[in-house]
A = this chain, B = another copy of it.
Amino acid sequence: MTPSFYKEQSKFYVAVDCIILGFKDAKIYLLISKRKFEPLKGKDSLMGGFLQPNESLSETVSRVVYEYTDIEDVYLEQVGIYGDVSRDEGERVISVAYYALIDLELFNDELCKKHNAYWIELDKVENLVFDHNRMLVDTITILRKKAASQPLGFNLLPEKFTLPQLQMLYEAIYDTTLDKRNFRKKILEMDILEKQEDKDMSSSRKGAFYYKFNKEKYDSLLNKGYYFSL
């Protein structure tokens, strides 16, 4: 039975909106779709879904991200909650924004057709519905701050990657160019990458060795008070 004090209160729709980011060819991409229902049907929107009674919010966001990417165990982080009275033209909806970092090699392109979705370069994103542009801006702010102190960039890369790829990722996140020697020195000194025996021969004649991120090592360093810092 609902306690009487609660009964006097109002209820609200609660939704999640997901800023799903991928990285390819030195650029960061955002997954968006054409809205399937009114209001603003056909306009560009982040991927979202409504909270269901039997779900925790983290279950909702995992469900939504899985539905649109077909990938489980995605790196997810809360961006914030957006609760302005008129933020959704349809009805009062409280939205919780999360960003998801995915490895595009695991993404199933067939899903885009099904959901009327597409990947767009971050730089080319224009008007999204409601406050979705603000959610995106807030995400980039958080991502830039976090990527400098936590190794979350690796979530955007395949399991095996090269140092030039890693550098391009950080250059894309910060929209800047980094000095190659400094970057290599800094990242290798952290001693959280494992050099592989094989090379990527696609981008240069000499080739570039593959590396893997060693999360166990990073976690154990973290416990000793060591921090990732780029």
Interfacial residues, chain A to chain B (CB-CB below 8 A): 2-6, 9-14, 37-39, 50-58, 60, 78, 80-81, 83-85, 90-94, 96
How many copies of this chain sit in the oligomeric assembly?
Answer: 2
Closest chain-B Cβ to A55's Cβ sits at a distance in Å of 7
19 CB contacts below 8 A, A to B, read: A2-B91, A3-B90, A5-B38, A6-B13, A9-B13, A10-B13, A10-B51, A10-B53, A11-B11, A11-B12, A53-B92, A54-B85, A56-B84, A57-B81, A57-B83, A57-B94, A58-B83, A78-B81, A81-B96
Residues of B within 8 A of A56 (CB): 83-85
Central interface residue in A54, A58, A91, A96, by most chain B CB within 10 Å: A91
Q: Smallest Cβ distance from A85 to chain B, in angstroms?
A: 5
Within 8 Å CB of A84, what residues of B?
A: 56-57
Q: A2-B90, A5-B37, A91-B2 are in contact. Are A55 and B85 (CB under 8 A)?
A: yes
A2 — nearest CB in chain B belongs to which residue? Answer: B91
A3 touches which one: B9, B54, B91 (CB < 8 A)? Answer: B91
Q: When A51-B83, A84-B56 are in contact, do A12 and B14 touch as well, CB less than 8 Å?
A: yes
Pick the contact of A51: B78, B90, B94 (CB < 8 A): B94
Looking at the assembled complex, report how far the CB atom of A78 sits from the nearest CB atom of chain B, in whole angstroms.
6
A47 to chain B, nearest CB (A): 15
Bound together, the chains give a CA A57 to CA B10 distance in angstroms of 13
